[in-house]
Amino acid sequence: MFLQCGKHRLDLSRPVVMGILNVTPDSFSDGGRFVNPAAAIAHGLAMVEAGAGIIDIGGESTRPGAQAVSEEQEIRRVVPLVEALASTVDVPLSVDTSKAGVIRAAIKAGATFINDVRALREAGALEAAADSDAGLCLMHMQGEPRTMQMEPVYDDVVSEVREFLQSRLDACAAAGIARDRLVVDPGIGFGKRIEHNMKLLAALPELLKLGRPLLIGVSRKSMFGTLLGRAVGERLAGALAVAVSSVLAGAGIVRTHDVAETVDALKVAAALRMSGYWTAEVNPGERL
């Protein structure tokens, strides 16, 4: 399966690593590390050198409890970095945003992918995306970042997430957005308890029936604090376990802070997948 991102055409027959580059002071894992432009550029280049196939630039934190920033502030944070990297790397540059003005400014600056936790539901976002040729990630989130983890409730998390993602794919089709520009993300940790996350990760083959590539992002998330009792900086092993299992189940893109380690893990997962070790139709428990 291919993903069209402006001038870039990504072959997702092998998994692609999306490297996270937050230029925010308050992101849960790396807040403040890359607010200096030179440090941010250097980190972006290092991730590409380590094997990242996409760089995802974030100018507004979406961690639980995060405060919103203005459109103008977000543009000031991300656009200079997009401009700097667009002239030096040959991979899609993604911007993690929900705002129509940021979408337009980022694409004008050289971004070719938009990663939207609100799935293009903010005012003007769908139209801004439709006016471009950028790749687009539609993510499920219950609630808003400031409150999403307070009381998430589902009757059937898998069916509800699938129905939401289908509705957003339909909205994009109605807006004239080609399907080969779209990926979907179940939004692990976004308005979900650990049991919801586990059910979604176990049901990735069901979500693949939407007919679009899956993006999975679990890097350093609190679920590993719960499962492993590990602090934020000690969650790599847990994230790699989920990354590998997700790719074996058919996921095409894995979003991570830890690019080099994830690239290595996914090379092994891809080799296993190509060998027939896993197919989406087989219950993994049958192989134990």
Q: Which residues are catalytic?
A: 221, 255
Phi, psi for 206 (deg, rounded to 5): -65, -40
Contact 10, 92 (CB under 8 A): yes
Q: Is the dihedral of CA 242, 281, 5, 89 positive or negative?
A: positive
3-state secondary structure of 135: strand
Decide: 128 and 45 in contact? Cβ < 8 Å.
no
Q: How far apart are CA 231 and CA 226, in angstroms?
A: 10
CA 64 to CA 173: how far, in whole Å?
A: 31
Residue 81 CA, chain-centre distance (Å), reads 19
Of 139, 137, 82, give the one whose Cα is nearest residue 115.
137
Between CA 240 and CA 213 the distance in angstroms is 19
Phi then psi for residue 137, to 5 deg, are -110, 125
Buried b / exposed e over 264-276, threshold 16 CB at 10 Å, is ebbeebbeebeee
